Structure 1
Amino acid sequence: MTIERASDPNDLSRLLIERINARDVDGLAALYEDDAVLDTGDGHAIGSADIREFWTNLLTTGITVTLGLQADAIINGDIALTSTRLPGGPITVEVARRQRDGTWKWAIDQPALVREGQ
């Protein structure tokens, strides 16, 4: 099975939502660089193993999410700032980096998740 990769920085948020709702931990972990930092709300998940553990634990809660309103990515060379406004007002902030193959992965992620129906 081939995992879709982000050809644009804003693809990352769409893929994140799809993979959360599909309970695809491998796909979620693939959205991040090997040494990425993810703000967990009560600390940080650093690196692939910690990020995989965070998503594994979160998915056990049965969370289902929807994509909010994405701002246009701000791109400077191989770095991009992405952001999404979620229903109810929370805003995500992420830093993505273009990979050698031209695809994008998050290097820093400060997610905000709103369950469907909230």
Structure 2
Amino acid sequence: MTTTTVIEPGSALNRAWGDAFNAGDLPRLLEFYEPDAVIVPGPGAEPVRGIEAIEGALRWFLGLGGRLEFGESRYWIVSGDIALGSCAFELVGGHDGDGTPVPLAGVTAEVVRRQPDGSWRYVVDHPFGAGA
């Protein structure tokens, strides 16, 4: 039986996602998404939908290595079981397959929904959606 950790939207949610990323834990990262969620996998990339597509995008992101660092949340606006949030992040020490550094930083635009067990999952995850 899987135990669900209830994480409120906000800095705690971003930190938990970052902790899973920094641990290289793809299965845990996927638990943060609804089955039909949408993610924008990179700057200027087209959105992808569904767990299989999200898994591919996150596998690529994890393959860059490095350490993901989140700043404090810019905001989390909650309305019932839906929340809109934003925070700044930076990938430090990431590199492509040839060893070329891949600097990534952005300000997110995130929509999450409260699940029946009280946890929150991403419906829309746009890591670069809020500009600088």
Return the TM-score normalized by structure 1. 0.83
The counterpart of 2:122, out of the listed 95, 106, 112, is 106
Q: Specify which of 72, 76, 90 is matched with residue 73 of structure 1.
A: 76
Which runs of structure 2 are paired with 1:1-118 in the superposition (5 Å)?
5-10=5-10, 11-41=12-42, 42-86=45-89, 90-112=106-128
User: Quick check: 2:37–2:49 contact (8 Å CA) kept in 1?
Assistant: yes
Greater fraction of residues in strand: 2
- Flag as ranges the 4+ runs of structure 1 deviating above 4 A: 1-4
Match of 1:116 in 2: none
- RCO comparison, higher one (Cα < 8 Å, 6+): 1
Per the TM alignment, residue 66 of structure 1 is displaced from its structure 2 partner at its CA by 0.9
Percent sequence identity is 34
Gaps of 5+ in 1: 113-118
In 2, Cα distance between equivalents of 1:24 and 1:69: 22
TM-score (norm 2): 0.75
Map Cα deviations across residues 6-47 of structure 1 (whole Å, 9 max, x no partner): 420123211111011100000111101000000113112211
Q: Which stretches in structure 2 are left out of the alignment for 5+ residues?
A: 91-104
Mapped to 1, the partners of 2:3 and 2:17 lie a distance apart of: 12
| Structure 1 letter corresponding to 2:84 | L
Tell me the amino acid that sits aligned with residue 14 of structure 1.
Answer: R
Answer with 96-105 or 9-18: which moved more.
9-18
Q: Distance in 1 between matches of 2:67 and 2:115?
A: 29
User: How many residues end up aligned between the 2 structures?
Assistant: 112
Q: Is the 8 A contact 1:12 1:105 kept in 2?
A: no
